[in-house]
Amino acid sequence: MLNINNLHAGVEGKQILKGLNLQINPGEVHAIMGPNGAGKSTLSHVLSGKSGYEITQGSVSYQGRDLLDMEPEDRAREGVFLAFQYPVEIPGVSNIYLLKAALNAIRKHHGLNEVDAMDFLALVKDKVKLLQMDEKFLYRAVNEGFSGGEKKRNEILQAAVLEPKLCILDETDSGLDIDALKIVADGVNSLRSQDRSFLMITHYQRLLDYIKPDFVHVLADGKIVKSGGPELALELEAKGYSWVEGQAA
C-alpha cells in the first residue's frame, strides 16, 4: 500500500529525514516511535503534502502511484488521512459542513453522486455515537473552543466518516487523559480492517497498550534505526530513547 524508499527531506535547507525506508501492507498497523526532533512530524507532513518541505532524495509510492507528485486534496481523496497533532480551529465552518464537503469531494473524485442528505446524517450520527461525542459537536465550528481531547476525538470522527485506506495518526495520544485515550483507541480499533492500514506516530508507548501495532519502528535522527514487533515498544519504554540513539550514531 505504502512504500517509502530512501526518503530524504528537509525544511529551509536543514536535513530532517535522512534515508527513511518503510513498507506498509494493507491491513497492517505500524507504530513509529522516536524522541523529539527525530523527524516524526516531518514524516507525517511530507506524506500528507504540507508545503514548505524539500524532498531531496528517495520516493514514496502509494497504491502504485507517486504520492509526492499528488496535491494534498488528491492524496486525501485517494484515501490518505492525516489525524493532526494540532488540529486547526476553523471558526465559522461547522463540523457537519466540513464532513459533508469532504465526503462529497471523495465521492465526486470516484465518479459517484453526492451523498443523500438523510443517509449522510444517519451515517454521521452513528459515528458520533461510536466516539461517544455529543451530537451538538456536529453543529459547532470545527475544533473551535474544543479541549485537546475533543480535538483529537474529532479527528478520529472525521476518519470514521471518510473511511480512508491509510490513516496516519500524528501524536494522537498526546494531551489525552486516560478515559479520552480509551475512547479514541476504541474508535481507531473499530476502523481496523484487512484493507485499511495505520501509521501511528507517537512519543509515548502508552497508546500502544490500547491500539496493538503489528510492527514498531524506532525513528532517530531521520532514519528508522530499529524495527520489531510490539515488544520493541516495551523495551524502549524500559530503556529509554538514549538506547536507540546510541545505536543510530
Partner 1 sequence: MAQDNAVSPYAAEYEELCEQLPGQHLAWLQQIRGEAHQQFSQCGFPTLRDEEWRYTNVSPIEKKLFSAKPPLADADIQIGEYQLSDCWRIVLVDGYFNAALSDLSGLPESVAVMSMAEALDKHDDTIKAHLGQAVSDQEHGLVAFNTSRFGDGLFIQIPAGQALDKPIQLINVMSQTDHLAHTRNLVILEAQAEAQIIETAIGDNNAYLSAAVSEVFVGENAALEWFKLQADSEKAYHFSGTYVKQSTYSRFKHHNFSFGGLLARNDIHCDIQKAAECELNGLFLAQKRQHIDNHTRINHCEPHGISREQYKGVLNQRARGVFQGRVIVAEDAQKTDSEMNNRNLLLSDDAEIDTKPQLEIYADDVKCAHGVTVGQLDEQSVFYLKSRCIDEASARNMLTFAFANEMVTKIAHQGLHDLLLSLVLERFPQTDVSAEWL
Q: Which residues bind partner 1 (CB under 8 A)?
A: 48-51, 71-73, 75-77, 81-82, 84, 87-88, 90-94, 96-98, 100-106, 109, 114, 117, 139, 141, 158, 162
In the complex, the smallest distance separating the C-beta of residue 216 from partner 1, rounded to whole angstroms, is 26
Query: Is the Cβ of residue 18 or residue 196 nearer to partner 1 in the bound state?
Result: 196
Nearest 5°: phi and psi at 83? -85, 115
Give CA–CA dist 178/25, Å, rounded.
30
In the complex, the smallest distance separating the C-beta of residue 163 from partner 1, rounded to whole angstroms, is 12
Q: Hey, what's the cell of 4?
A: 517509502
Query: Is the Cβ of residue 67 or residue 225 nearer to partner 1 in the bound state?
Result: 67
Query: Is the Cβ of residue 16 or residue 162 nearer to partner 1 in the bound state?
Result: 162
In the complex, the smallest distance separating the C-beta of residue 180 from partner 1, rounded to whole angstroms, is 21
DSSP code at position 22: E
In the complex, the smallest distance separating the C-beta of residue 93 from partner 1, rounded to whole angstroms, is 4
- Nearest of 197, 244, 190 to residue 81 by alpha carbon: 197
- Nearest of 48, 80, 61 to residue 21 by alpha carbon: 61
Residue type, 188: V
The alpha carbon torsion through 175, 177, 182, 186 (nearest 10 deg) reads -30
Query: Is the Cβ of residue 87 or residue 222 nearer to partner 1 in the bound state?
Result: 87
